[in-house]
Amino acid sequence: NTSGIPVTTHPRWIRINTLKTTLEDQLATTFKDYTRAAEVSEVQKRGGKKIFLDAHVPNLIAVPPSADLTKSAAYTSGALIFQDKASCFPAYLLDPLAEDGDVIDSCAAPGNKTTHLASILASHSPAVDIADPSTLAELPQRIHAFEKDKVRATTLAKMVALAGSEGMTKIHAATDFLKADPESPQFAKVGALLLDPSCSGSGIVGRDDMPELHLPSEAKGGPAAGGKPGGKGAKGKGKGKDKPAEDEKPSSQKRKRDSEEEEKVEVLLDDDGVPTAITSAQDLQARLAALAAFQLTLLLHAMRFPGARKITYSTCSEHNEENEGVVLAALGSEVARERGWRVLRRDEQVGGMKRWDVRGVEGPEGEYEKISEGCIRANKGDGEGTMGFFVCPFVRDGEGGDVEA
């Protein structure tokens, strides 16, 4: 760096878990010695006690990456959740309201978005009093959290318990979301679904910025914390809450970023954890095509729930194929056309997301032009301090399938 501009790093984003505490309480206690930063750039340098209050997502703060909060009472009690800003977009954008009924989180572990959903649902209910956790269990709405991987489901259960959302969350452990029957009476009240499937993970920020699964050590539960037990394919690089589980992917090959050469080298791991470099553009294209097919299958399944009115689809990938490409394919499907699913326009989106200017790409041939404004992107390294991320909100205002109270 010869420019004289200080090297910036990824800030430590922290979601205030409003099931356990409030932003005001945290500012007065855990962060009482911190001074307010006016810009996110001020917390993108190591050192100092500065705190930035995010302008888009409520109850989200950022501190310098050097601030060690892992031993703070607030963190170990689940009042603070380490979660990248962009990873907070899906639950906030889904904005499940009381009239939306139950919510499905289809790909839930380790549970960052599940617990965020719980916090939002509770915030919409005047009956909830965080000083009395029994009021949470009495909420009429439920979150159905699916996780196919048994070990990761254990981590999910621990995170949900630590975050105080156990009473309102039904965990479908070691259960494939694709096996959930949309017509089953247990899902009759489902009005909103959050889809955050496994992806290439190309938007994940390097190893130092994303501690393992963002759980206090006592809640990690052994090998689940690192993803796959035995550590195959999970050698501590590119770890993050959105790091895909290594064994649920549609292809037998497992891909990760080489953190030393993050922008240049793509690494595939085979079933034995042996790295195989992607040597050609065709290899990468084949990998992306397999992932996109898997992601589209999940999205179309979500669109089949009869009472569903809202869906968010998200990835931590920077590749169009997994993002706008999947959205466009879903909109062209029979189920989307029959049921009237469409992309929620920017002007219809929840306040903070409406103000977020980084939108979907239009594509080299302009193929995504019609949907790009409704889609949301975050680009790593663009000064906003986020990981690379994509989210698209879908809404359905067609006939039938109303959620009953």
Determine the Cα–Cα distance for residues 213 and 210; give it in Å rounded to an integer: 8
In contact, 194 and 117? CB cutoff 8 Å: yes
Minimum distance from residue 185 beta carbon to ligand SAM (Å):
21
**CA neighbours closer than 13 Å in the CB half-sphere of residue 85:** 30
The residue from 79, 80, 109, 291 that contacts ligand SAM (CB under 6 A) is 109
The residue from 54, 95, 102, 196 that contacts ligand SAM (CB under 6 A) is 196
The residue from 54, 84, 100, 149 that contacts ligand SAM (CB under 6 A) is 149
Note whether 312 binds ligand SAM by CB under 6 A.
no
Task: Say if strands 275-277 and 169-173 run parallel, antiparallel, or are unpaired.
Answer: unpaired
Note whether 242 binds ligand SAM by CB under 6 A.
yes
Note whether 233 binds ligand SAM by CB under 6 A.
no
Stretch (H or E) spanning 36: strand 35-37
Q: Is 375 a catalytic residue?
A: no
The residue from 11, 111, 206, 307 that contacts ligand SAM (CB under 6 A) is 111
Note whether 244 binds ligand SAM by CB under 6 A.
yes
Determine the Cα–Cα distance for residues 104 and 167; give it in Å rounded to an integer: 15
Site string for ligand SAM, 74-103 (x = CB under 6 A): -------------x----------------
Note whether 107 binds ligand SAM by CB under 6 A.
yes
The residue from 25, 42, 166, 176 that contacts ligand SAM (CB under 6 A) is 176
DSSP label at residue 305? -
In contact, 96 and 103? CB cutoff 8 Å: yes
Minimum distance from residue 225 beta carbon to ligand SAM (Å):
13
Total number of residues that touch ligand SAM (CB under 6 A):
25
Note whether 146 binds ligand SAM by CB under 6 A.
yes
Helix (H, G, I), strand (E, B) or coil at 163: coil
Q: Between 17 and 198, whose beta carbon lies closer to ligand SAM?
A: 198
> 147: how many CB neighbours lie within 10 A of its CB?
29
Q: Which residue is nearest to ligand SAM (CB)?
A: 107
CA dihedral 224, 229, 235, 239 (to 10 degrees): -20
The residue from 85, 113, 257, 319 that contacts ligand SAM (CB under 6 A) is 113
Determine the Cα–Cα distance for residues 162 and 286; give it in Å rounded to an integer: 40
Give Cα 286 to chain centroid, integer Å: 25
Determine the Cα–Cα distance for residues 77 and 20; give it in Å rounded to an integer: 9
Determine the Cα–Cα distance for residues 54 and 279; give it in Å rounded to an integer: 40
In contact, 113 and 91? CB cutoff 8 Å: yes
Determine the Cα–Cα distance for residues 377 and 381; give it in Å rounded to an integer: 13
Q: Between 50 and 152, whose beta carbon lies closer to ligand SAM?
A: 152
**CA neighbours closer than 13 Å in the CB half-sphere of residue 250:** 17
Q: Between 182 and 363, whose beta carbon lies closer to ligand SAM?
A: 182
Q: Between 34 and 177, whose beta carbon lies closer to ligand SAM?
A: 177
In contact, 360 and 372? CB cutoff 8 Å: yes
Note whether 212 binds ligand SAM by CB under 6 A.
no
Minimum distance from residue 303 beta carbon to ligand SAM (Å):
15
The footprint of ligand SAM on residues 52-71 (CB under 6 A) is: none
Options 13-21, 68-76, 193-201, 252-260: segment touching ligand SAM (CB under 6 A): 193-201
The residue from 169, 198, 202, 312 that contacts ligand SAM (CB under 6 A) is 198
Minimum distance from residue 203 beta carbon to ligand SAM (Å):
11
Helices marked H in 304-376: 324-331, 334-339, 351-354, 369-372
Minimum distance from residue 44 beta carbon to ligand SAM (Å):
23
Q: Between 141 and 198, whose beta carbon lies closer to ligand SAM?
A: 198
**Selected catalytic residue, list 88, 107, 199, 316:** 316
What secondary structure does DSSP assign to 66-103, as a single string?
T---TTSHHHHTTSEEE--TGGGHHHHHH---GGGBEE
- The residues of the shown chain that bind ligand SAM, judged by CB under 6 A, are 87, 106-113, 146-149, 152, 176-178, 196-198, 241-242, 244-245, 248
Q: Which residues are marked as active site? A: 316
